[in-house]
Structures are given as structure tokens and as C-alpha cells.
Amino acid sequence: MKSLKTIINEAEKVTDKSKISDEGWHGYGQRRTPWQIAITNFIKKDRKIDKHIAGSSIYFDDTDLVVGSDTVMTLSAKGDGNRETVADMKKAILKSPARIDPNKPAAPGEKKFGRFNVKLPTEMQGAYGGDAVKIENPRAIIKTDIDSAKEIQRTIKAKGVKFRMMKRKDHVAVYIDADDGALLDAALKKIKRIK
């Protein structure tokens, strides 16, 4: 049995090819082990991962690798000899749906509505806050995650407002089509109230 100091020293030397040792993984009850802490810290240093998780937490729940509230990988059973590497864990995180950072500033051509960045039709961009411009079938586009998309869908339900969501590689695109500018303006005001 290795001492705790030895396990901590080994855990500080985590690389993509590192495999999880049984001694470093189990035996600490509900507390996080030095291996778990070292691996999550190492994974968070990867720029691709950091961008993909957008500030969500990464942690282990026993043998489950969890990002935010989603389990992205369940590690092999103890002692079977087929331990996953840290590179395998990174791949699993990158295969999971990307998280959208709610604090991200609006890009050019977008407006901030609550926590969402919304791409508005050109004719309407100056209209929010004032009278809605009369345009036919305006569309707003929001890049978000699946949970937020479902929240938007529940919030904007109204006659004359159509909702579509399409899964993309790194986000979910939400398309809001309205019969006229006033309906779209009302839908955007509802979206702004989502916390």
C-alpha cells in the first residue's frame, strides 16, 4: 500500500497517457482523492476543454466523470486492468454537448437579451425598446445549450410565434420565427426575463 504522500506526488505528474491507479482512486470515502483533484486540474488546463465546458465544473462522482450536471463517462470497474487514460477522459468531454458561457459579450450583429445573445433581423435591430418595425416573418437566432433551448421553448409559446431548435457541433441553434415584428418583440421580452 502506498503512502498518501507518494500518491500525492504521483498525482502531480498527470499527463494525457496517465492511467488511474486503484490506490489513488479508492479508499477515501466521499472525499475527493489527490488523483481526482490532479486529473480535473490537468484536464481544465487544456484550452479546447476550457472553451468547450465554458466555466462548468468538472468532478468525479465515484467512478463517473461529471461536467456541470451531466455524466460524460463512467470509468472501468476497479481492478479490471483496463483503466482509461486522461486522454480518453478529454475525448469524452469533447464528445459531450458544449456549454455556452452566459457571460459572453454579444458579437457584432447580436443583442444581449438577459443571458442570451440574439441575432436579430437587420430591420429590427434598432426597434427593440421602441415600436416594432413592421416586417414580414422576422427571425431571431440564439446559440445556446439544450436545457436553455427547452426553457426558451416553454417561455415563448404563443400564437404566431414558431420555435425550432437544431443541434450543431458545438451548440444548439434556436430559431424563433414570428408572423410580425410585434410578436417577435414580445417573445424577446419574455426571453429577457429567463434567469
Secondary structure letter of residue 176 according to DSSP: E
**Domain 110-192 falls in which CATH fold?**
Gyrase A; domain 2 (3.30.1360)
Instruction: Please tell me the pTM assigned to this model.
Output: 0.52
Sheet holding 161-167, edge to edge: 110-113, 116-119, 139-144, 172-178, 161-167
101-133 residue pLDDT tens: 666 777 777 888 888 888 887 665 554 555 555
What 3-state class would DSSP assign to 1? coil
For residues 69 and 67, give the distance between their C-alpha atoms in angstroms, rounded to a whole number. 6
Per residue in 135-190, pLDDT tens?
A: 677 888 998 888 888 899 999 888 889 999 998 877 889 999 988 878 888 888 89
Domain boundaries, the chain: 4-95, 110-192
